[in-house]
Structure 1
Amino acid sequence: MSSFTAPEDQERETSTFEAPPDCPVLSSPPLRELHTKFVSLINASDHETILNNLLAADVRIQDSLVSSKGLQGLEKVGSKLKDVVSKMGGSIQNAADVEACVELRDGLTTRSLMQLKKGMMKLSVGCSITWFGGMASRITLQRSAGPEFMVDDTSPPTTSVQGEGEEQNVPSDEFSPPYLIPRPAVFPPPTVTVVVKSASDLVNAPVSLRPVNPYIKLSLPSGPRHKTTVKKMTSNPTWGSDGSGEKFVSSVGVNDEYIDVQVIDWKPVKHRLLSEVRVSLARFPPTSDGVLTGVDLEVDMRWGKKGKKGRIWIEVGVVDLKRWWSDMERDARDERDKAEGEGEVEEEQANAACTIS
């Protein structure tokens, strides 16, 4: 009986897709049960159906995906995943291997090592799933996986807490129970939401004999970029059919400290930059529900009279459950300690008064 194995000098084939989660609380089914259901899906016979289901909304796949190799589109990820899944025909040889999946130290990841059989051949496939809100946010299938795939190489979750003038990585158990503020079951990666509402007093280059065809471009240092629709022939554009604006959501990386906002004039050949401004994310407090803050940006126009100003109106909201909960818990404990301290002082003063009398 032959088997599929990877040569030691050849990198084992993996296929990964992931998407930013938006569910802050785990659903009721245990992770092991969810993992087993997913493996049953892999064991189906129709691989096209498998692929379509994996890329469906119930596993949080959006227009763009981020992997360790950078930003990847759905088609690229889908082709990689399809290549692996197509080699996984046949049946699961040992169901116990699937049922014995393990939850790792980070509390969000499950792994199983599946032995698949197809005719006279065997295929070992490692399956790793990262869960948020009871949904699969990241799934990795590794062909020709060995026993080392089941080794727990994850780390316990940490909570980022920003002190005065510095940043610290503080373990999530910084606060011991009982908690004064209910602690979320999971801490999804932080996200930033930007709603582009309108702009005004935009100025085009003198060489252009027409009004501006403006659009807004948003970008983070880690790479995510978004563009609004182009508004033709206007210096005072408004986005959204009812003026509600155009909304964009991006995952915030570790080094993402600001958003670059550019106003660009659309042209058939080469677009022209009209103005740009950098908006610090530090000015927006972390929230748990994505409350938006309106920002009126005054921007220097690159064209027209010197000192000419334009304006951009946007709304920004940062959802960072780690920082939000840590800040709330710390404030609540500070208030409690302060109240207890004041109570002790009053008691000491009362005892002193009794002694004197």
Structure 2
Amino acid sequence: MLFKTSFTALVVASLAVFSTYTPQAEAHSWMDCVDWKFNNAKTQDWSDKGGKCQGYARRFPLGKKFASLDSASPNRHYRQPKKNPNSYPCSDRKHGEERGSDETRASPVEKAYGGKYGRMTTTTVGDTLCVRWPAKNHATKDEENHPVFINLSKVRDGKDISQKELTANNIAKLNYKNCNSKFPNQDQRACGGCFKVPVRASGVYLLQWRWLLNANVNEWYTSCADVRIGPKSKNEADWEVKDLYRGLVPTGLIETWKQLFTTTKWIATIMVTKFVSRIEEFGRTKIWNKQCEDTVAWEKSVGITFMSKRAGGRNGDRGHQRSVGDFSDLKGRRLLATEIQEGRRAADYRETCIAQQVTQELG
């Protein structure tokens, strides 16, 4: 009788345990958002209450609960082929250990965005992008922490490049376990990381989110997105090569140099200044001086001398008019100090030409 009572109590207790147990499905992750904007940048809350997504992966469905797309049809977690993880960087729904959703490049590229899909990411060089992903029970202490690789193609407005090329163009390694620590559900914890947009010419580029779950079996997961990158700043004035010939140092070139060579702004400023100095010297010695020499030779061939030009400047004969020095342009607008300085530099060059002509005549 005692045995029967004890057995009954054990069965009841076991049923009670199983009735209160909620299974934790172990799934695999994906890039939920490409351009996450925090409500408060200081707190960096990755949950839906902490911000809003402004850019998505290719054909990312809207209106779905966060972290629920592992059970959707098709699901979002694409696992690259085990035997050759360097093949098919983006899911085509035909290859891979887990085929995921169609993330091939659309033609035109805008067809993969808008309507039932999330918007395409638009950013600028030097801007900060924050990507988000669900933990899916892999951000716990007992899990190995493999980084998330952010790879950005250098091919502008072109077809998708290979996985090897994307790997060679890695721009950031993010901490997979950078998640909202207070959220109790390990499966639906929101995680993410931020990075700077590197130097690229204006255009659309392929961005890949890539994460290794298990190194022993080449278990790689990826998500792909198109990112439209614009100039560094809408307010930054454009500059041309001719500005370098004048010895002008664009501030945008300093920032570009800094990012391109991964150095400090101070070193970048010194290097760009030296670079521009060499360009200006080349323009002066190889272009301007050559033009001066050709002009002097031509004037000499047609009988125009330094003395005739000076005489023409006094009385207006032969079309030689002396320039005035009221520091205004043809419309009477007062010139800026920088314009005056450039004018004086041009005058110095002109005097060099005159000196060369006088030397030839006296010689």
Which TM-score band (shorter chain)? Answer: under 0.3
TM-score (normalizing by structure 1):
0.23
**Greater Cα radius of gyration, structure 1 or 2:** 2
TM-score (norm 2): 0.22
Q: Which has the higher strand share?
A: 1
Select the structure that is richer in helix.
2
